Amino acid sequence: MTVLRGRDVPVPCVSSMHAFSRTCWASVGVNARHTIARQRVQHRAQSNRPSLRVAAASVPTKQGGVEAPTQNGAGLKVGKSPDTAGGQLTPSPNLQNPDVYNIEGEDWHKAALSMVVVGASGDLAKKKIYPALFALYVEGHLPDYFTIWGFARSKMSNEEFREYIGQSLSCRLTDKGSCEGKFESFLERCYYHPGQYNNRDDFAALSEAMTEPEKKRKTADRVFYLSIPPSIFTQVAACASDAASSPTGYTRVIVEKPFGKDSESFRQLSTDLYQHLTEDQMFRIDHYLGKELIENLTVLRFANLIFEPLWNRSFIRNVQVVFSEDFGTEGRGGYFDQYGIIRDVIQNHLLQILSLFAMEPPVSLDAEDIRNEKVKVLRNMSPISMEDVVIGQYRGRGNKQGYLDDSTVPEGSLCPTFAAVACFIDNPRWDGVPFLLKAGKALHTKRAEIRVQFRHVPGNLYKNRMGLNMDQTTNELVIRIQPNESIYLKVNNKVPGLGLNLDVQKLDLSYKTRYNKHLPDAYERLILDVINGDKRLFIRNDELEAAWDLFTPILKEIEQKQMAPELYPYNSRGPVGSHYLAAKYGVRWGDMTDNPEEVI
C-alpha cells in the first residue's frame, strides 16, 4: 500500500502486464510508426507545395484559446517551391535530420539563406547568436550561399558591424588553425542595415539590400531572429511580413521568450502575431530545449528497453527538475523584477522538460507527433494550489549583496528569486507521483538536472545492512543537463571483501570522459533546426496556452495578496519551506549532497 496525496491506494503489480504490452508494441507499434512515417514522406514528395509549410491546421487549441490561422496571414508572401525536376534534392546542411525526423529538404545548390538578426546590437545577439552562427559556419552546417544581416536602430557601417561581431567570436574547436582561418570569410558575409522597428520602408530597404546577394540563386530563404523586447514583436512581425518576406522561398521568424506574462497577455500577443504570421512560420525558442541532455531524453526513454517499463507510478516515487544558479541578479534586477523566477524559469524551461520527460511514446519523431504528446501532459496536470508552492528571496551574506541591495531593483520589491512547486499529472501513468520543480538564484550550486527517485524494494532482504534511512538507498536516475553533462544511476552494491557490507555507487556516463568532442551550444542546435524546418524543440501555441493556464492563477494570487517571499542567505540551500514542501510528499531533495562540479 502506498500513500498518494493523502489517500491509501494500492499499487498493482504490472510487471506481467508491461511485458505483454511491450511485446505487442514492439511487434506492431513500431511497424505502424514506420508505415506512417513512409506515407508522410511519400505524400510530401508527391505534392508540389510551397516551401513555406502551413501546418497550423493540425494544431488544436482549447475552447476560447487563440486559433492558429490555416491560411496565409495578412501581408505574408509565399514563393514557389524550387524546381527539382532537373536533379535530385540536395539534403539540408545537417545531413541526418531530414531522414530521421521527416523534414522536407532544401536544395542548397539552388537556394540562398539570409539570416536577419533584429536587435543586432543587443546583448543576446553578441553573446549567443553570432557565436552560434560562426560555430555552424566553421563546422560546415550552413549552406554555401548565406549572408547575415544585422538590423537595429543604431547607426553603424558594415565594417563597424563586422568589428562588433568579431569581438564575440572565438575558436572552440580542436583545430584552431582551421577555425581562425575562417574568421575573415565569415565576417565578409555579415552586413548591417539601420532602421526603425516599426517602419515598413526601412524593412523594404532591407529586403532590397538582401536581394542583391540572393539573386544569384533560384530560391531565397529568409530567417528573422527577433532579439528584441516582446513589446515590439508585433511591430517587427508586421513590417517583416509585409515588406521583407522572401518572394521565392520560406520566411521564418524566431521569437524569444517571454511569451507574455500571463494567459491574457499571451493570448493577446498570439492574436497580434497571427495577423501577420502563420503558426508554421513561428519558431518560439526556449534555449533549454536545445541542451544536449534534453535532446537525448527521448533517446534514453524510447531506445532503451530497460527504462520504458519502469517509467510509471508503479516504480517511480517522485521526479525532481532542479535549476539553480550560484549568483544573483548582479545589476540585472530591473529586468528580472518584471517577471520573477516562476515566469523566467519554471513556467517555461522546467515545465517543458517535465512534459518531454512524462509524455507518452509519440507515433513518430515528427515534430507535430512529439508536441501533441507534450500538450496532453500539460492538459492532464492538476491545477496548482498555493499550498504546493514556496517562494523565496535571497538576502545578503558576507560580502555578497542581497536582492534588495541591487540598485536596479525597486525598493521593497517582493519579487521571488526562488520557487519550489509540487505538480501532479492526472493520467494512468503518473497518477499520484509528485513532480517537484525547483528554481532559484544565489543558491549553493549552479546546476540543472532531472532526478528520478524510484520506490523502495519491497521485502528487501538487505534492509538490516542499509541503515535506518531507506530513502538514501533507493535507486535514483540522474540526468545532469549542466554543468558536466552526465547520466548516472545510483545502485546498491556489495563492498569487496569477506564481510557483507553495502554502499551506494554510481553507474555513470560522463560526456567529458566518454566523448572526446565539443558539445554544441543550445543556440547552435536550435538555429540549425530553424534552417532545416525542424520544430521538435520549439514550443507550439497550444503548449504555451496550457502552460500559462496552469501558472496564471497562482501568479495572480501571489501578486494580488502581495505575498512576502521567505528570505534565505546568499549561497545557501534555499528557503526552509522548500524542504517542508518536499517532506509533505515523503520526498528528500536529491541535489543537497551531490557536487555538480565533480566530473564523474
User: With contact defined as beta carbons under 8 Å apart, do 356 and 297 qualify?
Assistant: yes
Could you tell me where the DSSP H helices lie in 275-318? 292-295, 297-302
- 356: cell is 518531454
Q: Report d(CA 38, CA 455) in Å as an integer.
A: 40
Q: How many residues does the chain have?
A: 600
Among 282, 266, 283, 257, residue whose Cα is nearest residue 124: 257
User: With contact defined as beta carbons under 8 Å apart, do 342 and 386 qualify?
Assistant: no
Among 310, 537, 343, 312, residue whose Cα is nearest residue 421: 343
* Peptide bond connecting 258 to the previous residue in cis, omega within 30 degrees of 0: yes
User: With contact defined as beta carbons under 8 Å apart, do 263 and 556 qualify?
Assistant: no
Annotated active-site residue in 18, 193, 276, 349:
349
Phi, psi of 115 (to 5 degrees): -105, 115
Residue spans of beta strands (DSSP E) within 44-126: 111-118
- 14: cell is 504490472
What is the distance, to the nearest Å, from the Cα of residue 99 to the centroid of all Cα atoms in its chain? 22
Among 429, 305, 259, residue whose Cα is nearest residue 357: 429
Q: Report d(CA 161, CA 63) in Å as an integer.
A: 47
Q: What does the DSSP assignment read for 295-338?
A: HTHHHHHHS-TTTGGGSSTTTEEEEEEEEE-SS--TT-HHHHTT
Among 415, 227, 448, residue whose Cα is nearest residue 329: 415
Phi, psi of 254 (to 5 degrees): -95, 125
Task: Kindly calculate the radius of gyration of the chain based on its CA atoms and give it in whole angstroms.
Answer: 25
Q: Report d(CA 532, CA 98) in Å as an integer.
A: 8
Q: Report d(CA 394, CA 410) in Å as an integer.
A: 15
Residue 588 to residues 125, 436, 470, Cα–Cα distance (Å): 40, 10, 11
Active site residue 109: no
544558479: which residue's cell?
325
* Catalytic residue annotation: 349
